[in-house]
Each structure stands twice: as C-alpha cells, then as structure tokens.
Structure 1
Amino acid sequence: MAISLPERTATAVDALTPREIVAELDKYVIGQARAKRAVAIALRNRIRRQRLSADMAEEVTPKNILMIGPTGVGKTEIARRLARLAQSPFIKVEASKFTEVGYVGRDVESMVRDLVEIAVDMVRAERADEIQDKARQAAEERLLDLLLPPTRFPAPPFDRAQGVPSDSRGTGEEAAPAFPAAPGAPGDGRGPREQAHRTRERMREQLREGRLDDRVVDIDVSAGPMPSFEVIAGTSVEEIGMNLKDMMGNLFQGRAKTRRLRVPDALEHLAAEEQAKLVDMEAVGRTAVQRVEQSGIIFIDEIDKIASRDAMGGGGHGGPDVSREGVQRDILPIVEGTTVNTKHGMVRTDHILFIAAGAFHVSKPSDLIPELQGRFPIRVELEPLTRDDFVRILTEPRNALVTQYTALLGTEEVALSFTPAAVGRIADFAARVNEITENIGARRLHTVMERLLDEISFDAPELGRRAITIDEAYVDHMLADIVRNEDLSRYIL
C-alpha cells in the first residue's frame, strides 16, 4: 500500500524545517520552547516519512507526545496552531468525557469518527472553492431563467420528402441564404433568437451590477433537515443513530417547498445547490479518510483526570472507575493502532499523531497504566508563566490581547492605546492574582483586561471620535483595590 501525505498538506509544509516551524509557533505562543521543539520534530518526521519507500513508511509510526503543565500555559494552543500550520484534521477532546464501553456516555472511538467529519468538512470546502466559479455560473443561468423565462421559437419548416427540417438538409448545417435576409428575419442578427439572447445578456449585466437586488423570485427549496434520532450510548447505538439519520434524510430528500426570495439570496441558494451537485461526496469521503490516517492530530486534554491514584483504581471504590482506568484501556488500542468503522469507511489509527496533556497536580504520569505510558514516549514539561511572559503575551503575538481590544474599540472610533508602564502593571496584577488564587495561566489576562476596560467598553458608543491612553495610574485606579482584597480577587478576577 502506498503511503503518502495528502498533496495539499505535503506541499504546504515540505519546505518548513523544525526551526522554521518553531518560528511560526512563536508568532502565537510565548515561551515553552521545549514543547514547540517536540511538536516541530513530530511534524517534520511526517514529512520525512512521506519520502520513504512504502514498506519502510508503513513501519514508521508517529512518536506521540505527553505535555505536562498547569492550565493556561499554551498546551492546547501549541497543538492547535501546529495543526493549522500543517493543514491537518485536528480535534481536541477531553479524556474525562469518555466512559468505558457498555456504560452510558461517549465511547473513545467517537473521537476518530468526529475527526473524520472534520476532515470531510475541510475537503468539501476545498472542493467547493475549486468549483466555485462554475457553480456560480450555473446558478446565474438558473436565476436568469426565473427572471426571464426562455422564449419558445417555432420549429423550422419540415420537408416531408426528406424527413428532415428543410434548413438542415444534406450535411446538417444551415444552408446559406440565396438572397440577403430581410430585416427581422432569422440570421440577420435581429431575429427573435438574437433579440432574446441580447435581452438575456442585458439582464445578466444588470444582475451582476446589482440593479436587480430588489426583485423577488420563487424558487423550490428543500423542506429542511429531518430530525435526528441519534442516541449516544456506545459504539453500536451511536452508529445506529448515525445511519438512521442518513436513511431518513435520503428517504425524504425529494420534499421541497416554494419560497419567495430576493435575488441576492436566491443566487446564493442556487449556487449552494450547484456546488452540492458538482462535489463528489464519495471522493470527498475517501480523501478525508486518507487525510485523517496520514496527517490527523488528536489532542487528548485532561488525561491526568483518568489516571489512577492508588492501587485499587477509581479512587478506592474497589475496582476501576468506568471513566478512569477503563477509559485508559479503551484509549490504548486507538493509540496503538486499530481500525475504526465510520460512515465514510474504515479508518486506521496507526499513523494519527496523539498529543495528550494534563496538569498532573494530584496524579503523576506514572499513574497511567504502563501500556499507555509506553505509547507516549515524548514527555515535555511546560513551565508556569511569569510576569515577564505576561508582558510578552499582551504585546508580542500576532493579534495579541492589546491589539484585539484596540481593534474592537476602534470600530466605535475610539483610538485606544497602552503605555509600556500600563502593560507592565497589568502583567503584575495578573501574576499576583494567579499567586493568591488559582493559577490559571494566561487566561487570567482575559479577566484582568475585561475588568480594566469595563467602563470604556460600556461608554464607547457615546464617546464619539476620541483618543484614550491607558496609563499606569488608570490601571491602578481600576484594579489595585480588587487585587489587594483577596476575597474580591477570588470572585471578580
């Protein structure tokens, strides 16, 4: 079996070295150099595997990564940005949401099925972009038919002796006229067909210029999706619900109703219909399955929550908890490599990259079952964020928090700016609140910024065109009392 990354992914990432991948991640995530190096090497190894022979590539499996660190330090963001950089199907799941097979709750195979659906959406969007112009043209023709119904022309005279129209005798081509055509006769450019064509082209021009936007047309639209009967209670029932929904949708797909829409809305609806006709969903499904198998990334968060903390398992209940050790044993074959049945086909998980993450405040990585520990050979510890990290997070990343709030208030014609001292003061307060309350990492900056700009955000529509500078004194005025009062900090920040 030939092993290769999808062409779109390979061509986009081929030129990136691990150093360049880290540089790309640095645009969005501050610090955590070791974690960035680990994921950069993992991504580059996928490109290296692509260049191997089929036999060798089959044997090379991704080296899964276990990220250890407190909340809010960038674990999820690193994985998400890596997937976006690689144009890979990516899904984030929480290990604590799954239960052992046979119990009420989601089974672990659902993460693979959900990843396939994400890949299908990605491939469908790519195919839709490729045929967008063709679909738009077809929709335009259909809309012109509604605005200007085609004219019926009389059939040409019929030659009874020859059994063919009199103007198509012999070679099948129109015979040249023996005399110049009279004005208004067919062939002089002013006949009914030519006039209808010119009228249609004038209508097309008006449509493209937006001069018909106020007109309405009647079109047939789908009666709407059938209600879902999906019941998530394990693999078999989940698949039954999924297939039942598809069956009922196909059974009633012919139902339609007539709606009156404005021309722009009708054009968009018709374009969507034409796109659906032109996109081969079977081919989309096959491509999506291949993309998941060769470049999919599954991020399993909160894996520490399913780690057993004592020999009894399940917190001392006398047996493994259905959402803890049992889930670990269900995750194990997915990570090792198995085949999962989806509605788009069988999906092999051998070469999906798994990135697990957890704070491990109470449990330790060694509390995971030994078999699962061995499937995450690369372990990276992420460092807690400091005051200096907060300063960089506020200003350095692309679309950093300060930039975001400046842009948001700019829509109200309020020119917001921050002095360097104010940014440092915000970082001081965020770091202090993390020390005296729960340490939630960079997420603390969101709560601090919202509290800081509460009054300005509320009054912005009435302020008019105005420049506002946030300085250190204003930050102290808005935040100092709350930060000093530990009880208030716990509830407000």
Structure 2
Amino acid sequence: MSHAMTPREIISELDRYIVGQDDAKRAVAIALRNRWRRQQVPSPMREEITPKNILMIGPTGVGKTEIARRLARLANAPFIKVEATKFTEVGYVGRDVETIIRDLVDTSIKIVREEHLVRVQTKAEKMAEDRLLDILIPHPVAPQGPHSSEPNNASSESREKMRHKLRLGELDKRQVEIDVESQQEAPMMQLFSGQGTEAMDLKEMLGGMMGGQKKSKRMNVADALKVIQQQEADRLLDMETIKEEAITRAENDGIVFLDEMDKITQRSGTASGGEVSREGVQRDLLPLVEGTTVNTRYGHISTDHILFIASGAFHLAKPSDLIPELQGRFPIRVNLSALGEEEFRRILVEPEASLTRQYAALLHSENVSIRFADDGISEIARIAVQVNDKTENIGARRLHTLLERVLENISFEASDRSGDTIEIDAAYVLKEVGEISADEDLSRYIL
C-alpha cells in the first residue's frame, strides 16, 4: 500500500479486518494521509509540520491495537507497540523510554533489509548456483597445447547439464560439504547508567570479534542451495545504504503505539510514591513525543515526525489526569465504543481473516470441513456478551476462548475424521459451552 491512499481508501482497507469503530478509523486515516501531504510541501515549511498524535480511549478488546497495527501495514511503516507500564523514570532500575526509539529503528532496519533482499534475490540465486556447481564439479587442470579449447568446451557442456539437473531437483538428495558461519551464543549484559538500564549484546559491542568463524557442514544439495543463496544475498547488501534508508523511514514514517497510558496517570486527589514515579514516566515520554534526538547504534534519530498513538481504558483515571504538557501533545481524542452482540456476530463472519475462517482453514488441513450456521454464530455472540457481563469484560478476545472451547473436541478428533463435514449450529454450541457459560464461577476460570 502507498501513502498516496486517500482517507476513504484507507478506511475501506481497515474495514476488511476491523468491525465498527468508525471514528478511530477516520482519525488514523487522516493522520496517514497527512504524512503524504507533508511530503508534498516544500522546505522549509515541511520541517515545521508535525504529526497530530492520537489518544484512543476505550475498554480492552475493542480494536485499538489492531487499528494501529493495520495502519502501519498499509503504510509499510516501521511500527512498534509498547506498554507504558514497562518503563520507569530516569534514575530508577528498569527500561529507559529511549529504548522505544531504538526498537523502532531495529524494526525499520529489518523492513528495509527485507526489501533490499528481494531486489538482489535473482542475482543471489545465480551466484549460489555457480558456487554449488563449483563444489559438485571439481575444476580440471587447465590443459596445454593446440587443442586445449576442446576440453574446455566439454567442461562447459558438463557444467550446463549439471545446472539443468540442479534446477530440476534431480540432485537434491546428494550430500555436499559447505562452509557456514558458526553460531556462537553471545552473552547479554546489563549496563547501568544515568539514562536507565539497558540490555546489550556483547557481540554487537565488540563488532565482528566474536563472529565470522567458519566451519564445514555436510548437508543435502537442496538445503545447501538455500544456505548459499542467503550467504550470497547478504554479501550483495549495502548495509550503509540500508541504515541510511531505515533511519529516514523511522524518522518520517515511524509509528509508536503506547498502550496502557491510563496506568501511568496520577489520579486526582492521590499523591503516593508510586504515583510520583508514574508521573516521572510521563515526563520522560514527553521529550520523545515533543521531538528530541535519541542516540542509537545506527546513529542519531530525530523523533520530531514520528506518529505516536496512545491508548488506554481510562476506567479509573481520566485523560485530564495526564500531565498537562503530555495532554497537549495528543490533540486528537477518539472514543472507542464497547462491543455488543451484533458487533461480535459481525467480527465472527465479516473480516477477511475472521476467526471462523481461521478455524475452518486449520481443520481443512486435516481434510475436515466445518460450516458455521447463522444460529451458531448468533449463539456464540450471545454467550460472549453474557460472559463478559457476568465476569471481566475483555471485549472481542472473549470470542477466542469461546471458539477454542466450542471446537475443542473437533480439533482433538480431526485426524480421525478425515472427509467429514461438521455443522456448528446453536444446538452444538450449547452442548459444548452452554452449561459452563450458565455457571458464573466456571465461566471465570474456563471462558
């Protein structure tokens, strides 16, 4: 997907995977389109335009995380989801908020590297074939004399015949010996500094001193070809170009999803030590959201144009309990509504990768067909709402636990029922989970 998608097109794509929550979809669609608009603005005005960060407010299991994740996929943008509660303020032992940006850059490096690998794949395959043929066909001693070209022609013909067999898979089971890089486990160490605690890979700190050792390994030709293709592709990559592109993409297209923001608020009328620490995390997050420069192992990263999407249930706390400076950095507020029976029914059938389609695909691998009747879908949705009301409301996540329970026996017996077609109707659903859902105590522990 491209940044050039219009807001309507973005919402249309999100509708394929997420049911309802039109206000949230509209907000993120505008935010993504504004990124494309900013790229069309000439400098120096372009540098002055900052993203309008979004605060999503709603109970768990209503689609907050999924909206942000799908948005990142549409934009092919570096995306990272973090829980705000995992961080501590500077001076305390724990994770430093700047690791958010470091992890975002790591994600960007991975995305860009994969794109570059695709570009060099064809060349890497050809080089891998040549290397493998060199192993399969030892080089003859160069002949001397007036007829020296004839053996060379014969050797070339033999090589092409072998290449043809290699491509047809006729040599796949033959054993060869190739050099592979030995995988040494590098120790991890904790570094304590004024900026918090960081886990560092000793191998990365010491560069190539601990790696790069080769060892011979015997394997069949099919596996050897894959290993050599990966080695050749890695050699063709220009890591400096990848780093530069990844940094640019992280700075201009990066999306950070900050979950559980309500858990780091200082609720009105309270002022315990724990609350002070929570406010400290907010103050540490503030420079990232406002725009600052973070030092990473790939270089300095500016956060000025990274889009931050925060979310929280805000049952006990309110968005106004956030420190005023942070409140002002999330100008777009979106309320996501709780899901009811009709939304659950739609979630089970409408998305392209709906849960019912996922289970049908899994069981199809055992040659077992399952069909969800309309009354079966409605009964699952009804029970999900009922259990959510009686116990903890976990939103659409309740559908996962219900479907696992409904299909438990079928999943267990599927390997013995090849060729069967099974209909999941209301009677079947009630037989499997009706008694459990009616018992509040059992529901708490099983559903």
Please report the TM-score for the alignment, with normalisation by the length of structure 1: 0.88
Which residue matches 1:105? 94
2:127 counterpart of 1:138: yes
2:347 counterpart of 1:389: no
Cα distance in structure 2, aligned partners of 1:218 and 1:128: 25
Superposed displacement of residue 407, structure 1: 1.1
Superposed CA deviations along residues 32-54 of structure 1, whole A, max 9, x for unmatched, are 00000000000011111110011
Superposed displacement of residue 464, structure 1: 2.2
Match of 2:177 among 206, 212, 218: 218
Which blocks of at least 5 consecutive residues in structure 2 are unaligned?
none
Cα distance in structure 2, aligned partners of 1:459 and 1:334: 52
Relative to structure 1, the CA distance from residue 235 to residue 19 in structure 2 (aligned partners, 3 Å threshold; closer, same or farther) is farther
Relative to structure 1, the CA distance from residue 26 to residue 267 in structure 2 (aligned partners, 3 Å threshold; closer, same or farther) is same
Match of 1:361 among 296, 315, 320: 315
Structure 1 stretch displaced more, 68-77 or 144-153: 144-153
Superposed displacement of residue 265, structure 1: 1.2
Superposed CA deviations along residues 252-295 of structure 1, whole A, max 9, x for unmatched, are 33421111111111111111111111001111111000000000
- Where 1:241 maps in the other structure, the secondary structure is strand
Which residue matches 2:425? 471
2:3 counterpart of 1:13: yes
Cα distance in structure 2, aligned partners of 1:377 and 1:487: 43
Which blocks of at least 5 consecutive residues in structure 1 are unaligned?
1-8, 157-180
Alpha carbons 1:88, 1:295 under 8 Å: kept: yes
Please report the TM-score for the alignment, with normalisation by the length of structure 2: 0.97
Which residue matches 1:178? none
Relative to structure 1, the CA distance from residue 235 to residue 455 in structure 2 (aligned partners, 3 Å threshold; closer, same or farther) is farther
Q: How does 1:56-95 map to 2 (within 5 A)?
A: 56-95=45-84
Relative to structure 1, the CA distance from residue 93 to residue 142 in structure 2 (aligned partners, 3 Å threshold; closer, same or farther) is same
Identity over aligned pairs, percent: 54
Match of 1:296 among 232, 254, 257: 254
Cα distance in structure 2, aligned partners of 1:232 and 1:80: 31
Alpha carbons 1:106, 1:233 under 8 Å: kept: no
2:104 counterpart of 1:115: yes
Superposed displacement of residue 453, structure 1: 0.8
Structure 1 stretch displaced more, 463-472 or 113-122: 463-472
Cα distance in structure 1, aligned partners of 2:174 and 2:257: 49
Superposed displacement of residue 484, structure 1: 1.1
Which residue matches 1:168? none
Superposed CA deviations along residues 50-79 of structure 1, whole A, max 9, x for unmatched, are 100111110000000000000000000000
Q: Quote the RMSD (CA, aligned, Å).
A: 1.7
Alpha carbons 2:112, 2:246 under 8 Å: kept: yes
2:399 counterpart of 1:445: yes
Structure 1 stretch displaced more, 63-72 or 472-481: 472-481
Cα distance in structure 2, aligned partners of 1:52 and 1:438: 48
Alpha carbons 2:23, 2:334 under 8 Å: kept: yes
Please tell me the residue identity of whatever aligns with 1:256: K
Alpha carbons 1:106, 1:232 under 8 Å: kept: no
Superposed CA deviations along residues 318-344 of structure 1, whole A, max 9, x for unmatched, are x7543x111100000000000001111
Cα distance in structure 2, aligned partners of 1:299 and 1:144: 49
Cα distance in structure 2, aligned partners of 1:226 and 1:487: 47
Alpha carbons 1:90, 1:118 under 8 Å: kept: yes
Superposed displacement of residue 249, structure 1: 4.5
- Where 2:188 maps in the other structure, the secondary structure is coil
Which residue matches 1:334? 288
- Where 1:376 maps in the other structure, the secondary structure is coil
Relative to structure 1, the CA distance from residue 391 to residue 56 in structure 2 (aligned partners, 3 Å threshold; closer, same or farther) is same
Superposed displacement of residue 470, structure 1: 1.1
Relative to structure 1, the CA distance from residue 59 to residue 470 in structure 2 (aligned partners, 3 Å threshold; closer, same or farther) is same
Which residue matches 2:237? 279
Superposed displacement of residue 152, structure 1: 2.0
Match of 1:129 among 111, 118, 123: 118
Cα distance in structure 1, aligned partners of 2:40 and 2:303: 20
Q: How does 1:179-218 map to 2 (within 5 A)?
A: 185-187=147-149, 191-218=150-177
Alpha carbons 1:104, 1:234 under 8 Å: kept: no
Which residue matches 1:246? 204
Please tell me the residue identity of whatever aligns with 1:476: L
Q: Which has the larger radius of gyration?
A: 1
Please tell me the residue identity of whatever aligns with 1:462: D
Which residue matches 1:166? none
Superposed CA deviations along residues 198-241 of structure 1, whole A, max 9, x for unmatched, are 11111111111111111111111112144133426557676783
Which residue matches 1:379? 333
Cα distance in structure 2, aligned partners of 1:393 and 1:430: 12
